[in-house]
């Protein structure tokens, strides 16, 4: 593609944007902190789903210094239900870095923004262009789709070659003097006009330039990336109860949900019933000499889909006569206070269904 020297596509997009954009609380601000929070929330999250989280989060943490001083547990609590919890942990780490290394002022240099934990090229470009009008094109899923159709690009977007191709074209289209507006317009155009399924191309202001439309092949673009395989995991949660108390654990390591709380968890390679679970070494160790009084299955085989993982979870409520040494490695809490802890959505579903959830 040749350089669009008159920036006609950019001009059309911006014109369209002024008439069609949604009024959103993070629009029309040049505050890099607010832009950053909104962009992180909107990664992997729809606007209608993320809106409440954005409002609650920015009400509690209205600026960088408030966030930098926050406890991780509290930020995760405000994130609860959004998924991809590393986003919240990384945001906290980045806020602390800005407080320690940038004098508490959000850095404006693209390379500095990109150096912050959890900030990739997309988010750095969004912040640099929306807050300071710097000419860095954003290339998210919406933009990939628009570009793939406009120029009938058949390279899968997740391939190395695809990323380079789309980044180059996005840069060529951008009017550097209107970088922020151009990026916002392009993203909104992908979200509202050039939608994934059956876009209404007839009134589209770019239909005369659109190669996919001209060739009647809109549905063929963008070319779908190859599917990655999904890993099945089998979770068995033990809601152990003794004298009104229960035990929970804060997840650590490099697995999902780091920093969130959950009941003692046994994971098996395959689906097993309670008889099979009882035979595992971990179950025996955990419940040894506790004098099990009763066991009930509260939720069985709940399917919970994450990216590249399918979890199948069963929740057992187990009443015991006394604690043991193994349980001492967990946090003992009154059953009624579980709602005060940030828990994964899966555990939240269980708490909701069993009426144990305490309002935030």
Q: Which residues are catalytic?
A: 39
Closer residue to ligand SF4 in complex, CB, 35/218: 218
Closer residue to ligand SF4 in complex, CB, 67/150: 150
Contact by Cβ (8 Å): 288, 326: yes
Closer residue to ligand SF4 in complex, CB, 9/41: 9
Residue 144 binds ligand SF4, judged by CB under 6 A: no
Q: Which span (94-102, 143-151, 257-265, 285-293) binds ligand SF4, by CB under 6 A? A: 143-151
Q: Which residues make beta-bridge pairs with 268?
A: 234
Whether cis (ω within 30° of 0) applies to the bond prior to 222 is: yes
Q: Map residues 209-248 to x or -, x wherever contact with ligand SF4 holds by CB under 6 A.
A: -x-xx----x------------------------------
Residue 185 binds ligand SF4, judged by CB under 6 A: no
Q: Which span (50-58, 144-152, 244-252, 278-286) binds ligand SF4, by CB under 6 A? A: 144-152
Residue 204 binds ligand SF4, judged by CB under 6 A: yes
Residue 10 binds ligand SF4, judged by CB under 6 A: no
The set of residues, in sequence order, having a beta carbon less than 8 Å from that of 61 and lying 6+ positions away, is: 37, 67, 70, 75, 78
Least CB distance from residue 147 to ligand SF4, whole Å?
9
Query: What are 91-97's contacts with CB under 8 Å, separation 24+?
Result: 91/36, 91/37, 91/40, 91/67, 91/118, 92/67, 92/68, 93/117, 93/118, 94/118, 94/119, 95/64, 95/67, 95/68, 95/70, 96/68
Residue 186 binds ligand SF4, judged by CB under 6 A: no
Q: Which span (142-150, 294-302, 322-330, 331-339) binds ligand SF4, by CB under 6 A? A: 142-150
CB atoms within 10 A of CB 300: 12
Q: Is 321 helix (H, G, I), strand (E, B) or coil?
A: coil
Query: How far is it, in rounded angstroms, from Cα 42 to Cα 39?
Result: 5
Q: Which span (5-13, 155-163, 196-204, 258-266) binds ligand SF4, by CB under 6 A? A: 196-204
Q: Which two tokens stand for residue 250?
A: 């804060």
Least CB distance from residue 10 to ligand SF4, whole Å?
14
Q: What does the DSSP assignment read for 82-123?
A: S--THHHHHHHHHHHHHHHHSTTS---SHHHHHTSTT--HHH
Q: Which of 9, 17, 149, 162 binds ligand SF4 (CB under 6 A)?
A: 149
Residue 194 binds ligand SF4, judged by CB under 6 A: yes
Residue 207 binds ligand SF4, judged by CB under 6 A: yes
């Amino acid at each position: 593609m040749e350089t669009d020297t008159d920036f006609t596509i950019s001009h059309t997009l911006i014109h369209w944007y002024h008439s069609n954009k949604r009024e959103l609380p993070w629009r029309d601000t040049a505050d890099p902190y607010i832009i950053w929070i909104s962009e992180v929330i909107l990664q992997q999250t729809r606007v209608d789903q993320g809106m409440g989280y954005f409002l609650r989060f920015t009400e509690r943490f209205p600026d960088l210094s408030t966030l930098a001083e926050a406890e991780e547990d509290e930020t995760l609590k405000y994130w609860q239900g959004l998924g991809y919890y590393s986003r919240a942990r990384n945001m906290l780490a980045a806020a602390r870095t800005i407080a320690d290394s940038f004098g508490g002022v959000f850095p404006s240099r693209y390379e500095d923004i990109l150096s912050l934990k959890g900030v990739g090229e997309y988010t750095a470009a969004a912040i640099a262009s929306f807050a300071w009008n710097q000419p860095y094109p954003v290339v998210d899923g919406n933009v990939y789709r628009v570009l793939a159709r406009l120029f009938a690009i058949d390279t899968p977007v997740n391939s190395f070659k695809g990323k380079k191709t789309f980044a180059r074209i996005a840069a060529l289209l951008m009017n550097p003097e209107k970088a922020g507006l151009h990026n916002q317009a392009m993203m909104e155009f992908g979200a509202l006009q050039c939608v994934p399924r059956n876009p209404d191309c007839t009134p589209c202001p770019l239909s005369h330039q659109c190669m996919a439309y001209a060739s009647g092949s809109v549905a063929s673009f963008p070319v779908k990336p190859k599917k990655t395989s999904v890993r099945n995991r089998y979770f068995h949660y033990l809601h152990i109860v003794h004298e009104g108390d229960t035990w929970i654990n804060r997840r650590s390591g490099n697995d999902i949900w780091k920093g969130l709380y959950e009941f003692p968890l046994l994971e098996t390679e395959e689906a097993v019933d309670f008889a099979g679970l009882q035979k595992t070494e971990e179950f025996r160790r955990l419940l040894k000499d506790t004098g099990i009084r009763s066991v009930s299955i509260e939720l069985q085989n709940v399917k919970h889909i994450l990216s590249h993982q399918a979890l199948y979870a069963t929740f057992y409520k187990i009443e015991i006569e006394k604690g043991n040494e193994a349980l001492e490695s967990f946090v003992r809490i009154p059953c009624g206070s579980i709602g005060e802890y940030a828990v994964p959505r899966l555990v939240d579903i269980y708490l909701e269904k069993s009426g144990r959830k305490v309002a935030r």
